[in-house]
Structure 1
């Protein structure tokens, strides 16, 4: 089909009448051409690059380790994953005897502070004295500057209840005479 040259719209503004119809026809023809080339590409996948060849490319599967490393790097999870590994390997890092009495609780990534809870005040005191050596060991395994400070907390006392169903209203229990 021979295409007619476009004529300028009368009045110099928006196309009207026959000019508007010609513009719509031209747009429809271009859309049909695009759909036609897409159909040809689906029928001829070699030309469209839809099949994999003998050489590796971006569509090949990754080994699980490489995929996880890429995911942690993209999301910025390297430090939390390393610290989580330390919490899982706590007995290997500090030794069995210390691990029986002290356990890591939290890690503050912004402040680079590891919080450790001990089951007795004696172990808490001992771990406070060992904290500088422990920070050095952790930084060797995790990377320099990952842990800046270790906060050691002692045991948590039992929670005091406020009685049961038969509690007198307004009574605070055994502490009500202490001041």
Structure 2
């Protein structure tokens, strides 16, 4: 009797079994397991096995998950005091970020107008500190007041006020 799985040798089945049980002729499954064990990256004392700090692990995690841009935008809001300056930050606050436009609300229309004149300096500072945030423009608005306008498109004219009779 010969073993059909051994392509190169015609060894009797009893001898093949004996060699396989003694570990002299590994089966395909054992060979795969040994190869996997040898290629395993979890072997001690190999290259790339140095311990990493928590900051490095979190940086890798956020980069792999694609959170870098969102976290950078959050950092812009969190450090608004440093980006805009203490006096300016006292009278303003970031309120939104849509399509690369950071919206900042001011205490008064005068502050909003003054900040529109300083837009290039503030935008340059944001891009310098947080390039991955994706801020392309800064929009300054005045205090929150009720408006008849709803949505980004509106029909020109006086609106519903002209129907009061």
- Answer yes or no: same fold by TM over 0.5: yes
142-151 or 122-131: bigger deviation: 142-151
SS at match of 2:77: helix
Counterpart Cα distance in 2 of 1:104 and 1:71 = 27
Could you list the runs of 5+ residues in structure 1 that have no partner in the other structure?
6-32, 160-174
Counterpart Cα distance in 2 of 1:158 and 1:123 = 19
TM-score w.r.t. the length of structure 2 is 0.60
SS at match of 1:104: strand
Structure 1 residues 144, 85: CA separation in 2 closer, same or farther (over 3 Å shift)? Answer: closer
SS at match of 1:72: helix
Instruction: Quote the residue 1:54 is aligned against.
Output: 45
Instruction: Quote the residue 2:75 is aligned against.
Output: 85
Instruction: Quote the residue 1:125 is aligned against.
Output: 113
Counterpart Cα distance in 2 of 1:144 and 1:80 = 9
Structure 1 residues 106, 61: CA separation in 2 closer, same or farther (over 3 Å shift)? Answer: farther
Report the structure number with the largest CA radius of gyration.
1
Q: Between Structure 1 and Structure 2, how many residues are aligned?
A: 129
Residues 95 and 103, structure 2, Cα contact 8 Å, conserved in 1: yes
SS at match of 2:118: helix
Q: Identify which of structures 1 and 2 has the higher relative contact order when contacts are C-alpha pairs closer than 8 Å and 6+ apart.
A: 2
- The CA RMSD measured in Å over matched residues stands at 3.6
> Which 4+ residue blocks in structure 1 deviate beyond 4 angstroms?
46-51
Counterpart Cα distance in 2 of 1:84 and 1:145 = 8
Q: Tell me the CA shift for residue 34 of structure 1.
A: 6.4
Q: Return the match for 2:141 from 135, 150, 153.
A: 153
